[in-house]
A and B are shown apart, each in its own frame.
Chain A
Amino acid sequence: MTVAVFFGCTFIAFGPAVALFLFTIARDPLRVIFLIAGAFFWLVSLLLSSLVWFITVQISNKNSASQQRGLLIFGVVLSVLLQEAFRYGYYRLLKKANEGLLALSQEDTMPISMRQLAYVSGLGFGFMSGAFSVVNILSDSLGPGTVGIHGDPQHYFISSAFMTLAIILLHMFWGVVFFESCERQRWWALGAVVISHLVVSCLTFVNPHYQGSLIPTYIILSVMAAWAYLCAGGSLRNLKLCLTCKDKDFLLANHRPR
């Protein structure tokens, strides 16, 4: 559409992610490294799934629309499963690296905890996933035209931006829940993460009825946000205390040497 839409959609899609990066990750070089490594793992999973999809498309019948749609669904499901597999792979790699990091570091304590690693890797996955979802749409939004000449609904850019926002945050929450459930060997939680990822991805097949895909996605986002908050060590009491600004007394009262 124009530069205004380009910047608007970029801010919508990447605003929270950039804010999180700036305030929580940018200061610590170790976190940056793990973020980028996480992004790379997501990229490799995408590469593998796109390779499989590409091969199947080449050997399929290009003229049959239903077959192509079936292939697309297959591709999406495969991609989700591969992403989660790589998330698990990254978890195992980090577990192994943890011991090495402890040996290398000058201090006695770990420089970075598993929870923080979960958060950072989830955000890394999110960044990369968001980039691939939305960058080509953004580049087309720079031109003078908007979607619609063939009858598609007009709100394509903004819907894509909001969807990307949801996906990035979701990846972050999924990362936290995933690593926590792997730590505690709660396999049902793992399964729930995978299933919710599948549900969100398959919801996009409802497009162009954007309400049908965005609203359930945001509902899932809020559920996962609450779950991840609980996994990360939060509780309702802490939230209430924080919001009513009674924290000073609380901290003082709770302060004890570790």
Chain B
Amino acid sequence: MRKMEHLISINCVKLLIATLFYTCVLSSSVEQKIYVELNNTVPCVRLLNATHQIGCQSSISGDTGVLHVLETESDLDWILSSGPHPPYMVIMETAFFNRSVMMRMKNSPRVAGVAVIVSKTGLADHFSPHTTCPNQNTGLYSENNAPELANCNMTVWNPFGNGLSYEDFSFPVFALKDENQTQVIRKCYEDHNLRVNGSAPRYPLCAMQLFSHMHAVTDTVTCMRRTDLQNRFSINPEVLCDPLSDFNVWTSTRPLNSSAKGHVADESVVIAATRLDGRSFFWEQAPAAEGTVSGIVTLLATIQALYPVTREAPPPRNIFFTFFQGEAFDYIGSSKMVYDMEKNDFVIDLNNVHSMLEIGQIGLRRGQSLWMHSDPVSRRNTSVDTEVLNLMKNVNSAAAGLSVKLDQPSFSQPLPPSSFQRFLRAKQIPGLVLADHNTSFNNRYYESMYDDAENMNVTYPPNLSPDEQLVYETEEAKSLAEVATLVARSLYMQAGGENSRLSNITADPKIVAQLLYGFLVQKNNSWFRSLLPPEVTKKGDNSILSSGPPQFYIGLGPRIHGPVHSVTRFVQYILANLTGSVTNLTESQCQNPSEVNTENKDFFSYFWVSGPASVNGTEEPFCVQASVRLSKAVSPAFELLQYGSRDYSTWTESRWKSIRARIFLVASRELEMLTLGVGVAVLLLSLLVTYFISSKAELLFSSARETPTTTY
């Protein structure tokens, strides 16, 4: 008997393992009959700050709803009140993605989720999900300082803003960017969900399920508190949210010693700045053409124009170029740099800063004037005012011979949202912000998915190959090159350079055209590939050189998302290419330059780049020495552990487990209940019959012939 039991127990274990294996391996084939997975999903995620949560959230096991395409007003009625199969999953045509419709959806319990079709057909004349007054709480103007200028009392910068990005939706909102996938969804809808002659469609109906459950709730303070508790007391800590962070990129005409922090004696610096990031309603979608790329391209072209001349005839003052990351989220990069400068933790400090020139949105000038915005509050101080007027004079005289007209807004008009405001919060520095708008943005699609190359009028003639498009000089490229020349000459004069050299400072429209192509249309082009290290260019589709234009959302930084964000990388290596010099170091020497005693790691960075691809495909990488540095762009609130800070950005992004979408058919509730009923009936019936048979077994099976071999 014991041997038998031993055998049986082994059998049971084998049985169990085989069953499990079989089930796991084979469950996908039935699933494929039921679900169609949608692979290109673009969700809207939850972001939190010190006091609120914004964005979208699904329930933990996904939100399911019957599909309905929102094309007309009657569809809206159907979804919100008259349709018989709530909750509905709304497939929203582009024209309906506005504040009024979304707020009605938000307040309705009959909406399970929204999938927005992103296309240019039906796009309204203007659409900006950002607020009307960007960064109003962390700028220069507040209740304490010039309240008449705070909260856009005087000038509404983004009048088309509907604030959708800052609403909190309790249902998932996804974007459908892939035309093929949208077609699949439409076909399912047309096959099963269309109304026939006004009567409701019949089961089975096409439905969609969206998964985007977010782990963080309420606000950053709560989320960081819970994360800290997890980190301290849990064996497997579960982080709920991460602060938005990345890197600022900076360089200077005279290299600065990066190991010496704090005030530098006898150093007077003119800062030229612009922003590196953008955002939109959806996660990691931010083409940010007019909002960001115009500034980046202009500043890069300015640097390219200035560098030869500053090598030959260096001006008395240093010119410090910086690209701030995270400005869309309450000035993350610039507040961090100012904080470091105040704490003497940066290569220069605020007393080294002579003046500042910032490049705002300048892509939509269309032959009109370029506006020089200044801060009226600091200009009440006469010394600052004199400097500002001097700066304006320099800019005006630099425009001589160029086709750029300059203009000033009225004196009492405040600064537009810009990184310069954070510098002014710390110290009254003379400075200007250059923009293509006077009182409100020319950008009708500010911080939205539609702020792309077309918005900036960057279009290429058809039938050009990618390499031809790369070097094709559009009108916009020429216009931006003019502005870059203007800025470069103004900076040179502001830095005290000689006027005789000014005519040598010109921005190359070809470089501007290449930059525009790379940042607006296709980042995987031959020029970018030649600038980047070989391991990046070889990686294929998963690397930062995937196809399409780069997205300018700040992201979560290197700890979470792998190496440095793609845009930061590009700007870093482009600067290395434009301002650096080739050295003949080997690869290992390039990675460890401190071992080579002719190279100075304090003043320069060393980059191992691919070089242009030669005809027969072989690359010859080489080492470039440049004074380009990265500085951390994370909000000081997270260093000071003041998660509820009102002065600094407190934006965090929630974590999630899975984000996906799928479509399938659903059966009616009646059919389900019928199945359950039939099952229960079969079970009861079989129990009855079996009981009956087993109690009468003696009778029923009694007529067996008695033979020696069989026994009862």
**Interface 1/0 per residue, B1-40 and A, CB below 8 Å:** 1001000100110110011001100110011011110000
Which residues 658-680 of B sit at the A interface, judged by CB distance below 8 A?
Answer: 662-667, 672-673, 675-680
Whether the pair A1, B35 counts as a contact (CB closer than 8 A) is: no
**Interface 1/0 per residue, B661-701 and A, CB below 8 Å:** 01111110000110111111011011101110010101111
Partner of B699, one of A109, A110, A144, A238: A238
Which residues 182-227 of A sit at the B interface, judged by CB distance below 8 A?
Answer: 183
Q: How far apart sit A233 and B687, CA to CA, in the bound complex (Å)?
A: 22
Whether the pair B34, A12 counts as a contact (CB closer than 8 A) is: no
B338 at the interface (CB under 8 A from A): no
Whether the pair B679, A15 counts as a contact (CB closer than 8 A) is: yes
Partner of B682, one of A2, A16, A132, A140: A16
A195: shortest Cβ distance to chain B, in Å? 26
Which residues 1-53 of A sit at the B interface, judged by CB distance below 8 A?
Answer: 1-2, 4-5, 7-12, 15-16, 18-20, 22-24, 33, 36-37, 39-40, 43, 47
Chain A residues contacting B712 (CB-CB under 8 Å) are 113, 258
Whether the pair A241, B699 counts as a contact (CB closer than 8 A) is: yes
Whether the pair B710, A135 counts as a contact (CB closer than 8 A) is: no
Whether the pair A233, B665 counts as a contact (CB closer than 8 A) is: no
Partner of A140, one of B27, B206, B663, B677: B27
Whether the pair B33, A156 counts as a contact (CB closer than 8 A) is: yes
- Using CB atoms, name the residue of chain A closest to B19: A131
A114 at the interface (CB under 8 A from B): yes
Chain A residues contacting B14 (CB-CB under 8 Å) are 40, 43
B711 at the interface (CB under 8 A from A): yes
Whether the pair A37, B703 counts as a contact (CB closer than 8 A) is: no
Q: How far apart sit A33 and B7, CA to CA, in the bound complex (Å)?
A: 10
A104 at the interface (CB under 8 A from B): yes
Q: How many pairs, one residue from A and one from B, have CB atoms within 8 Å of each other in the complex?
A: 188
A222: shortest Cβ distance to chain B, in Å? 14
A contact patch SS: helix
Whether the pair B4, A33 counts as a contact (CB closer than 8 A) is: yes
A73 at the interface (CB under 8 A from B): no
Whether the pair B711, A109 counts as a contact (CB closer than 8 A) is: yes
**Interface 1/0 per residue, B505-528 and A, CB below 8 Å:** 000000000000000000000000
Whether the pair A145, B675 counts as a contact (CB closer than 8 A) is: no
B204 at the interface (CB under 8 A from A): yes
B contact patch SS: helix
B709 at the interface (CB under 8 A from A): yes
B710: shortest Cβ distance to chain A, in Å? 6
A71 at the interface (CB under 8 A from B): no
Whether the pair A40, B15 counts as a contact (CB closer than 8 A) is: yes
Chain A residues contacting B1 (CB-CB under 8 Å) are 104
A72 at the interface (CB under 8 A from B): no
A251 at the interface (CB under 8 A from B): yes
Q: How far apart sit A146 and B669, CA to CA, in the bound complex (Å)?
A: 12
Whether the pair B686, A19 counts as a contact (CB closer than 8 A) is: yes
A149 at the interface (CB under 8 A from B): yes
Whether the pair A145, B683 counts as a contact (CB closer than 8 A) is: no
Partner of A136, one of B27, B664, B709: B27
Whether the pair B702, A254 counts as a contact (CB closer than 8 A) is: yes
Partner of A144, one of B64, B698, B702: B64
Q: How far apart sit A113 and B64, CA to CA, in the bound complex (Å)?
A: 55
Partner of A145, one of B664, B676, B702, B711: B664
Whether the pair A146, B694 counts as a contact (CB closer than 8 A) is: no
Q: How far apart sit A148 and B188, CA to CA, in the bound complex (Å)?
A: 11
Whether the pair B687, A19 counts as a contact (CB closer than 8 A) is: yes
Chain A residues contacting B679 (CB-CB under 8 Å) are 7-12, 15, 161
B402 at the interface (CB under 8 A from A): no
A1-B667, A43-B15 are known contacts. Are A147 and B699 too (CB-CB below 8 A)? no
Q: How far apart sit A23 and B690, CA to CA, in the bound complex (Å)?
A: 7
Q: How far apart sit A36 and B675, CA to CA, in the bound complex (Å)?
A: 30
Partner of B702, one of A11, A40, A158, A238: A238
Whether the pair B209, A144 counts as a contact (CB closer than 8 A) is: yes
Whether the pair B665, A115 counts as a contact (CB closer than 8 A) is: no
A60 at the interface (CB under 8 A from B): no
Partner of B666, one of A139, A146, A156, A258: A146
B114 at the interface (CB under 8 A from A): no
Chain A residues contacting B687 (CB-CB under 8 Å) are 15, 19, 22-23
A115-B710, A145-B665, A147-B34 are known contacts. Are A24 and B702 too (CB-CB below 8 A)? no
Q: How far apart sit A73 and B185, CA to CA, in the bound complex (Å)?
A: 35
Chain B residues contacting A157 (CB-CB under 8 Å) are 675
Interface residues of A, CB < 8 Å — how many? 70
Whether the pair A144, B666 counts as a contact (CB closer than 8 A) is: yes
Whether the pair B703, A235 counts as a contact (CB closer than 8 A) is: yes
Whether the pair A4, B34 counts as a contact (CB closer than 8 A) is: no
Whether the pair A247, B666 counts as a contact (CB closer than 8 A) is: no
- Using CB atoms, name the residue of chain B closest to A235: B703
Partner of B710, one of A9, A23, A43, A113: A113
Whether the pair B8, A144 counts as a contact (CB closer than 8 A) is: no
Partner of A146, one of B209, B665, B702: B665
Whether the pair B682, A15 counts as a contact (CB closer than 8 A) is: yes
Partner of A139, one of B27, B188, B694, B696: B27
A140-B27, A149-B188 are known contacts. Are A247 and B699 too (CB-CB below 8 A)? yes
A197: shortest Cβ distance to chain B, in Å? 21
A85 at the interface (CB under 8 A from B): no
Whether the pair A37, B8 counts as a contact (CB closer than 8 A) is: yes
A89 at the interface (CB under 8 A from B): no
Chain B residues contacting A148 (CB-CB under 8 Å) are 34, 204, 665
Which residues 127-159 of A sit at the B interface, judged by CB distance below 8 A?
Answer: 128, 131-132, 135-137, 139-140, 143-150, 152, 154, 156-158
B207 at the interface (CB under 8 A from A): yes
A170 at the interface (CB under 8 A from B): no
Chain B residues contacting A139 (CB-CB under 8 Å) are 23, 27
Chain B residues contacting A158 (CB-CB under 8 Å) are 675, 678
Whether the pair A144, B682 counts as a contact (CB closer than 8 A) is: no
B704 at the interface (CB under 8 A from A): yes
Q: How far apart sit A19 and B689, CA to CA, in the bound complex (Å)?
A: 9
Q: How far apart sit A4 and B698, CA to CA, in the bound complex (Å)?
A: 38
B278: shortest Cβ distance to chain A, in Å? 37
Which residues 74-132 of A sit at the B interface, judged by CB distance below 8 A?
Answer: 104, 109-110, 113-115, 128, 131-132
- Among B1, B206, B700, the one with the most A-chain Cβ atoms within 10 Å of its Cβ is B700
B676: shortest Cβ distance to chain A, in Å? 4
A2-B672, A238-B699 are known contacts. Are A47 and B665 too (CB-CB below 8 A)? no
Chain A residues contacting B64 (CB-CB under 8 Å) are 144
Q: How far apart sit A147 and B701, CA to CA, in the bound complex (Å)?
A: 44
Whether the pair A242, B690 counts as a contact (CB closer than 8 A) is: no
Partner of A152, one of B15, B19, B33, B663: B33
Partner of B33, one of A47, A104, A150, A161: A150
Whether the pair A143, B711 counts as a contact (CB closer than 8 A) is: no
A177 at the interface (CB under 8 A from B): no
Chain B residues contacting A15 (CB-CB under 8 Å) are 679, 682-683, 685-687
Chain A residues contacting B673 (CB-CB under 8 Å) are 4
A-B contact pairs, 23 of them (CB 8 A): A1-B672, A4-B675, A5-B676, A7-B676, A8-B677, A15-B685, A15-B686, A16-B689, A18-B686, A19-B683, A23-B690, A24-B694, A37-B11, A40-B15, A132-B22, A136-B30, A145-B662, A146-B665, A149-B206, A237-B703, A238-B700, A239-B700, A250-B699
Which 8 interchain pairs have the tightest Cβ spacing? A145-B664, A11-B679, A233-B704, A8-B679, A8-B675, A15-B683, A16-B686, A8-B676
- Chain A residues close to B by CB (< 8 Å): 1-2, 4-5, 7-12, 15-16, 18-20, 22-24, 33, 36-37, 39-40, 43, 47, 104, 109-110, 113-115, 128, 131-132, 135-137, 139-140, 143-150, 152, 154, 156-158, 161, 165, 183, 229, 232-235, 237-239, 241-242, 247, 250-251, 254, 258
- Chain B residues close to A by CB (< 8 Å): 1, 4, 8, 11-12, 14-15, 18-19, 22-23, 26-27, 30-31, 33-36, 64, 188, 204, 206-207, 209, 662-667, 672-673, 675-680, 682-683, 685-687, 689-691, 694, 696, 698-704, 709-712
Contacts beyond the supplied A43-B14, A251-B698: 5 A-B pairs with Cβ under 8 Å = A4-B672, A5-B675, A114-B710, A149-B663, A234-B700
